[in-house]
Amino acid sequence: MNDYHNVPEDVSLIFLGTILISTLIGTIVFGYIGDNLYKKGNKKARVLLALMGNVIPIPLLFIALIIPFSAPNDVSIGELFSIPGALIMVILMMTGMFINGAVNGSWYATVVDLNLPEHRGTILATANFFDVIGRSLGPLIGSFVRDAYGSVYGMMMSIVAFIFIPFFWIPILKNYIPDMKETEKIFTERINELKNS
């Protein structure tokens, strides 16, 4: 933020910390909402929340990143939040990342719902493996873009990646109920086997 908005690094960390807190709060709030909707019979609720948590932040984050403002030299955090462009940027980013918090709990719950206990460790490990690769390559590619074109374009690379994520949730949404019924059928067969033995 220093090269584009003239915000010192220490103030940027506090600024971005507020955005991180909104993600953490969103994770808890949407986990609770997803569980309640699921209990009320909406079996696709978690998948829909994850899909929503990936789609809605895209325009909010894009708009936040293109808002022009320039802070005065040696700006404090209080002064930064009094700049309209900075305030709008942080509100849009906090809102977007709060909504993106819907993905975290929903993602794990979906993995557990659709997989048998003996497969969950492998599935979670594989999913985390690719998640770590994405989280590692994203900043690396973003830093190359940042060095070549500036920080705003480097951050825009994350939005490009964001655009592709919902396409991975669409097949899950389509197949969620049949897959869950198949998993429940296997559990029922196993329970009956245990009762009969």
Non-local (6+) Cβ contacts of 80 within 8 A are: 7, 11, 15, 71, 86
| Mean pLDDT estimate for the chain | 87
CA-to-CA distance for 114 and 112, rounded, in angstroms? 6
Range with lowest mean pLDDT among 3-7, 96-100, 187-191: 3-7
- Is 80 exceeded by the pLDDT of residue 33? yes
Instruction: Give the phi and the psi of residue 11 in degrees, each rounded to 5.
Output: -70, -35
pLDDT number for residue 39: 94
Which pLDDT score is estimated for 21? 95
Higher pLDDT, 100 or 73: 100
**Tokens (6 digits) for 116:** 């048998």
With a pLDDT cut of 90, the percent of the chain lying above it is 36
Distance CA(37)–CA(26), nearest Å, equals 16
* Angle subtended at Cα 132 by Cα 20 and Cα 8, rounded to the nearest 5 degrees: 35
